[in-house]
Amino acid sequence: MKRHWFQKACGAFFAFSALFLILPITGTAAEEASFSAEELAYIETCPPLKVGYVQDRKPVSFKGDNGELAGISRKIFDRISEISGLQFDYVELPDGSITYDYLLGEGFDFVTSVEYNEENQNAKGILISDPYLSSRKVIVAKDDFQFDMDAHCKVAISTGSQTIKKVISAYYPNFEFVDYPSTQDCFDAVHRGETDLLIQNQYVVEYWLYKPRYDDLKAIPIVELDDRLCFSAVTPLEKEETEIQQEKAMQISIINKSIAQMSDGEVAGFVITSNMENMYHFTTADLLYQYRYTLIALGIAVILICVLLYVIFQFRIRSIHDRADARAKGEFLSAMSHELRTPLNGLVGLNQMMCNHLDDPKKLSGYLQQSSSVTEYLLLLVNNILDMSRVQDHKMHLAQNPVDIAALVAETEEAQRPGMAEKQIQFEVHADLPHPVILGDNIRIRQILSNMLDNARKYTQAGGAVTVILRQTKVGASEIQTVVDVKDNGRGISEEFQKKIFDPFTREQDSISLGNQGTGLGMAICSMLARSMNGSMSVKSKMGVGSCFTFAFTAAEAVPPAEAPAAEEQEHAVSTDEKPRILIAEDNELNAMIVTEMLTEAGFETVLATNGKQVTEIFEASAPGEFGVILMDVLMPEMNGFEAAKAIRALDRPDADQVKIIACTANALQEDRDKALESGMDDFMAKPLDFPVLLEKLTP
């Protein structure tokens, strides 16, 4: 792939400028280190120092193939270690802005690649060394960008480079900064046109500009800003001379004297070597044609999900507008935007990764599995939003049927055991249920129990323990109070977060950093469901000890259900291997293709109709008993699914009231289900269809 002539020129310029643009530091290699007797004694006893580094600044500093720090910085640090005798342990810093409290709490002694400027020199809690690497900063912008230092420009800057803002503003007061998580995100922002430019170290810029996706960007050298990198020692915030501060000052002194022993030419050699070793390697073009249907299907799936979520957004916005003020609406949109953009970003990224690795079946299979997990998460989010909306709008109808609590708990326990076993969690259930059968909603009680156990498993370390305790007491003449405690010895929940754990879209920050993905709606929905059952949800927790979630509700005692008749008495139960012929009513071409092919592969014979009028005419013209099942979409042109179901049931033929009609629709609210049953349909399935469940419904 051809590069822009200016980028090639910059590449040559940067390589040779390493010999000349490295600013004089102090001293030469001819000088010998002048460590004091006290410093020499300290070096003898000093343990390895914990040094944090930013890993996305290739070739300056990055995580190498061996998992350790690599690049220009590593070569310089190894040389400092040779000169001084100090030993360093390098630890990767997390993405984003690193706080002083984090560095102090994690026991870091130093941070590398800190910019040597007045802002950092005056910062509390750090001591900085002399610069060990000096270069220039350059501007990156679109090829057609005309730089004017007095013009207003949006500048992308990574969250780990905040102190440079004041330095840049001193030269370019009209610049507006936009924060991004990483260096690559900054390049992407300029590439997409979200910002006008970015400012970064010249060596880092040269590496990223060799990526083919950034062929539309150019580097513009600037002379106003240099980029001097140094060590930063983490110290207490207090200014008085403490033993810790004295020790840090000694460490800085030793490092400064070591830096002074390295000549400009020696550092320049490190720069050139690292640039040559870490040049970007181009990949082979992908064979898109071979996998076009898979990629098109994934793209359509993303579009359909976005459309569905947009409809949900509109519905939710109207509900909030009727009940809340503008601030509540803004908070909801902000939370929803975050919750949806995160998995959608992952899905789009996986789509791109599949495009980049179409010739690698193993990687492609892994990306497809990951995309399936993201899609399941999005579906869970949609279902949770619908549940929350129905409960808040008082449209959630809780059933009042006999519920065998003991059997329900046993089934939930069985479903949870594989996940507990995978993490080697000791899982125990203790139940004292003198009144096991009560009136309630089996599905919603199970939903609450499953959510409590999912959270306990998720936030309990491997080898921990989760215990479920159930107890019942009689209150009044026929009311039974059931209390469920789910205890774990996990890391616990902070007191501050316990106050809002049952609010929608709330997740503790630590759980996010540890990679525990969730919608932030589960516990809120459980709490609202519990209140709908005349019950409550509560939590007690202590950091480092564990948590106990309690679900308590009151329900009427029910008569135990009669035993089912013996198998030999069920004379009407006739088994057959014959598969029914299926009439499919679906106006969406992609959905029709998918359901038709899935059913055909399962051995069913199918006939397709594209609207309600057509499905009615096909059934009316068929022989009696020709079709055993009709899969009925709801929103169709000419005649919708409800009207078609009524028309079929009204036909004067023997199988009109016997053919099984199953609603298959994206309208998943309870009122849609009720309307389908009222129109004469026998069953209801919400899209996206769960094909294993559908096949069970179609099995005679």
Confidence of residue 504 (pLDDT cuts 50, 70, 90): low
In percent, the amount of the chain with pLDDT more than 70 equals: 77
Tens of pLDDT, residue by residue over 54-75, are: 877 888 888 888 888 888 888 9
What's residue 19's pLDDT?
41
Per DSSP, the three-state class of 606 is strand
Residue 293 included in any domain: yes
Please state the rounded mean pLDDT for residues 675-679. Answer: 89
For residue 179, being part of any structural domain is answered with no
- 638-639-641 Cα angle (round to 5): 140
Span 459-485, average pLDDT = 90
Please give the pLDDT value at position 388: 57
| Contact of 547 with 541, CB cutoff 8 Å | yes
Q: What is the mean pLDDT of residues 531-558?
A: 88
Tokens of 431: 């139940």
Asked, for residue 335, whether it belongs to a domain, the answer is yes
pLDDT tier at 43, thresholds 50, 70, 90:
very high
CA distance 292 to 355: 10
pLDDT at 354: 79
Residues 363-411: pLDDT tens digits? 778 777 777 656 665 665 666 666 555 555 555 567 788 989 888 888 8
Please state the separation of Cα 55 from the chain's center in Å: 21
pLDDT recorded at residue 50: 92
**Res 584 pLDDT > 60:** yes
Least confident of 116-120, 262-266, 409-413, 505-509: 505-509
pLDDT tens per residue, range 678-698 = 999 999 888 777 788 888 888
CATH of the domain at 442: 3.30.565.10
CA dihedral 165, 168, 169, 174 (to 10 degrees): -110
Residues 303 and 234 in one domain: no
Dist CA 111 CA 260 (whole Å): 19
pLDDT in tens, 267-278: 888 888 887 877
SS (HEC) of 236-249: CCCCCCCHHHHHHH
Looking at the fold, whether 548 and 584 belong to one and the same domain comes out as no
Whether residues 352 and 474 share a domain: the answer is no
Amino acid 80: pLDDT: 92
Q: What's the pLDDT score for residue 618?
A: 93
How many other C-beta atoms lie within 10 A of the C-beta of residue 678?
Answer: 11
Give the pLDDT confidence score for residue 153 in this predicted structure: 92
- Among 378, 354, 372, 523, CA closest to 451: 523
The verdict on 374 and 257 lying in the same domain is: no
Q: Which amino acid is at 355?
A: C
Q: Within this chain, do residues 107 and 252 fall inside the same structural domain, yes or no? A: yes
Token pair 């010895």: residue: 489
For residue 573, the model assigns a pLDDT of: 38
Distance from C-alpha of 111 to C-alpha of 51, rounded to nearest angstrom: 5
Q: If pLDDT is split at 50, 70 and 90, which confidence band does 576 have? A: very low
Q: Give 283's pLDDT tier (boundaries 50, 70, 90).
A: low
pLDDT band at 337 (very low <50, low <70, confident <90, very high): low
Backbone φ and ψ of 210, nearest 5°? -80, -5
User: Taking residues 483-500, what's their average pLDDT?
Assistant: 86
Residues shown for the chain: 700
Residue of 685, 688, 692, 680 whose CA lies nearest to 619: 680
How does pLDDT run across 162-191, given as a tens digit for each residue?
667 878 888 888 999 998 888 889 999 999
Q: Say if CB 684 and CB 663 are below 8 A apart.
A: yes
Same domain, 405 and 347: no
Number of domains, the chain: 4
603: region left, alpha or beta (phi > 0 left; psi from -120 to 50 alpha)? left
User: Rounded to an integer, what distance in angstroms lies between the CA atom of residue 645 and that of residue 615?
Assistant: 9
Residue 549's pLDDT is what?
Answer: 92
Residue 207 and residue 278 in contact, taking contact as beta carbons nearer than 8 Å: yes
Average pLDDT of span 189-216: 88
Q: Which residues contact 596 (CB under 8 A, 6 or more apart)?
A: 584, 606, 608
CATH number of the domain enclosing 135: 3.40.190.10
Residue 28 predicted with pLDDT over 50: no
More confident residue, 129 or 312: 129
CB 536 within 8 A of CB 552: yes
Q: Which of 361, 392, 423 lies at the terminal end of a domain, its last residue?
A: 392
Same domain as 212, residue 95: yes
Q: Burial level of 476, CB count in 10 A (0-12/13-18/19+)? A: exposed
* Whether the Cβ atoms of residue 488 and residue 547 lie closer than 8 Å to each other: yes
In angstroms, rounded to a whole number, what is the distance separating the alpha carbons of residues 193 and 200? 17
Question: Which residue is listed with tokens 């419904």?
Answer: 697
Pair 271, 138 in one domain? yes
- What CATH number is given to the structural domain containing 691? 3.40.50.2300
Q: Are residues 376 and 415 located together in one domain of the fold?
A: no
Residues 412, 475, single domain; the answer is yes
For the chain, percent of residues with pLDDT exceeding 90: 23
Q: Which neighbouring-strand residues pair with 442?
A: none
Q: Is the dihedral of CA 643, 649, 652, 653 positive or negative?
A: positive
Query: Quick one: pLDDT at residue 464?
Result: 92
Which residue did the predictor score with more confidence, 280 or 51? 51
Would you say residue 178 lies in a domain?
A: no
- HSE (side-chain half, CA atoms, 13 Å) at 436: 12
Residue 552 binned pLDDT confidence (cut-offs 50, 70, 90): very high
Distance, in Å, from the CA atom of 631 to the CA atom of 586, rounded to the nearest integer, reads 8
Exposed / middle / buried, residue 576 (Cβ in 10 Å: 0-12, 13-18, 19+): exposed
Q: Are residues 383 and 434 in the same domain?
A: no
For residue range 287-320, what is the model confidence (pLDDT) as tens digits? 454 455 677 778 888 888 888 888 888 877 776 6
Average pLDDT of the residues in 451-470: 89
Of these ranges, 2-11, 467-476, 662-671, the one predicted with the greatest mean pLDDT is 467-476
d(CA 267, CA 274) in angstroms, rounded, equals 11
Quote the CA–CA distance of 381 and 112 in Å, as a whole number: 40
Q: How much is the average pLDDT of 202-222?
A: 85
Cα 553 to the chain's mean position, in Å? 34
Please answer whether residues 351 and 374 qualify as being in contact, where contact means their C-beta atoms are separated by less than 8 angstroms. Answer: no
> How is the beta sheet containing 465-475 ordered, strand by strand?
426-432, 465-475, 479-488, 546-556, 536-542
User: Is 80 within the bounds of a domain?
Assistant: yes
Average pLDDT of the residues of the chain = 79
The last residue of one of the domains, among 244, 277, 310, is: 277
Q: Could you tell me if residue 182 is inside a domain? A: no
Residue 679, Cβ density class (10 Å: 0-12 exposed, 13-18 middle, ≥19 buried): buried
Pairwise pLDDT comparison (650 vs 168), residue with the higher score:
650
Q: What is the mean pLDDT of residues 133-159?
A: 88
- Same-domain check for residues 386 and 407: no
- Identify the domain containing residue 634 by its residue range: 575-698
Residue 459 belongs to a domain: yes
Pairing type for strands 660-665 and 629-632 reads: parallel
> How far is residue 137's CA from residue 1's CA, in Å, rounded to a whole number?
26
CATH number at residue 293: 1.10.287
Mark which of 364, 392, 420 sits at the end of a domain.
392
Check whether the bond before 59 is cis (ω within 30° of 0).
Answer: yes
Least confident of 341-350, 585-594, 625-634: 341-350
Separation of first and last alpha carbons in the chain: 59
The rounded distance, in Å, linking the Cα atoms of 93 and 513 is: 12
What is the spatial distance between Cα 364 and Cα 372, in angstroms, rounded to a whole number?
12
Q: Show the tokens assigned to 243.
A: 């033993």
- Give the DSSP H or E segment for 685: strand 683-686
In a domain, 301, yes or no: yes
